[in-house]
């Protein structure tokens, strides 16, 4: 995949900038642009599963149908339910809100598929090495805690100290295992702290190991992502957004609004462009063998 060739920090800025637009501006065009880019990119990286698509479609449908039941603003009354008007503007507001949320979900789904735990630790280490250390230790202790608790539970069952015959016996057994695990965790934490102190942690300047190098393409991708994100944020503040109440109305079609949509489109389609370019390049190289 194309993002495997880039530094994780550059890829993070690119995907974060792409997911930023629907968070800042509730607009049908912005939501559709972000959703289209997110769906295409998820399909390209292989994370657009059927369950995710169905769940997102259901979310948009529910949001569009439920919002008019609680929000009765708007002048276009579709029908009256229990003496409450159901308006078209409330329906469109719910639909656009659902599409915006789903677009962000797709972008975060692509992010979770591309960024493994070591990449996340690398990115966090750039901003705060202490948080990165705490997170790495937490990620290490979770599987250790689960495996150790299973061992203790099996040992107590084998020794006749626990029983699975009734609900009360299971509760007592789980409580006994939890008590043992609290002691084990505290002891293991003390051992880890002593080991880190013995190895000289915190006694000198911290060094940082990384298997990823920062190259010119990473600088270019980060510069483009941050520039377009800044332009998008500035455009949101300088242009009038889509209004839903009291009557749905599109923003003015000035050059600034068109530039805002263009920046958002480039942000949303840059990841899929990089992915498709990489695939075409490999296909061309393989065909020449």
189-232 pLDDT, tens per residue? 888 878 877 877 766 666 656 678 888 988 999 999 999 888 88
Domain count, the chain: 1
Handedness of CA 143, 148, 154, 157 (dihedral sign): negative
169 occurs within a structural domain = no
Look at residue 134 and tell me if it is in a domain. Answer: no
Tokens for 105, please give them: 């979900």
Domain with 278, as residue range(s), is: 2-121+212-287
Residue 84: strand pairing partners? 81
**Within a domain: 163:** no
Residue-wise burial string across 260-283, b where 16 or more C-beta atoms lie within 10 A, e elsewhere: bbebbbbbbbbbbebbeebeeeee
Is residue 250 in some structural domain? yes
- Give the chain's mean pLDDT: 82
Q: Which residue has the tokens 């039941």?
A: 69
Choice among 10-19, 96-105, 200-209, 219-228 with the minimum mean pLDDT: 200-209
Tokens describing residue 286: 């393989």
Contact 261, 33 (CB under 8 A): yes
Q: What is the pLDDT of residue 39?
A: 92
Q: Domain for residue 184, yes or no?
A: no
Question: Is residue 226 domain-resident?
Answer: yes
* Single pTM value for the model: 0.75
Using 50, 70 and 90 to split pLDDT, how confident is the model at 100?
Answer: very high
Could you tell me if residue 174 is inside a domain? no
Residue 78 near residue 87, CB atoms below 8 Å: yes
Burial class of residue 26, CB neighbours in 10 A (0-12, 13-18, 19+):
middle
Residue 222 within a domain? yes
What confidence score (pLDDT) does residue 210 get?
63
Integer Cα distance of 137 and 131 in angstroms: 10
């Amino acid at each position: 995949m194309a993002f495997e060739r880039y530094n994780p920090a550059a890829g993070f800025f690119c995907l974060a900038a792409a997911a930023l637009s629907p968070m800042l501006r509730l607009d049908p065009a912005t939501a559709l642009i972000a959703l289209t880019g997110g769906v295409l990119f998820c399909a390209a990286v292989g994370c657009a599963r059927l369950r995710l698509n169905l769940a997102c479609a259901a979310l948009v449908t529910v949001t569009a149908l439920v919002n008019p039941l609680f929000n009765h603003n708007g002048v276009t009354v579709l029908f009256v339910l229990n003496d409450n008007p159901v308006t078209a503007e409330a329906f469109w507001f719910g639909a656009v809100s659902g599409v915006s949320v789903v677009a962000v979900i797709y972008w975060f789904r692509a992010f979770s598929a591309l960024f493994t735990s070591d990449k996340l630790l690398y990115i966090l280490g750039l901003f705060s090495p202490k948080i990165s250390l705490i997170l790495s230790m937490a990620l290490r202790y979770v599987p250790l805690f689960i495996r150790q608790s299973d061992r203790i539970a099996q040992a107590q069952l084998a020794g006749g100290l626990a029983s699975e015959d009734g609900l009360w016996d299971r509760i007592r057994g789980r409580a006994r295992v939890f008590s043992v695990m609290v002691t084990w965790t505290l002891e293991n934490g003390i051992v880890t702290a002593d080991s880190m102190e013995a190895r000289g942690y915190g006694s000198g300047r911290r060094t940082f190991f990384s298997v990823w190098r920062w190259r010119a393409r990473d600088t270019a991708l980060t510069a483009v992502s941050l520039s377009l994100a800044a332009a998008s944020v500035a455009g949101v503040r300088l242009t009038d957004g889509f209004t839903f109440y009291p009557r749905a109305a599109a923003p003015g079609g000035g050059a600034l609004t068109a530039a805002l949509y263009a920046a958002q489109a480039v942000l949303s389609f840059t990841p899929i462009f990089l992915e498709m370019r990489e695939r075409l390049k490999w296909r061309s190289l393989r065909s020449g063998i």
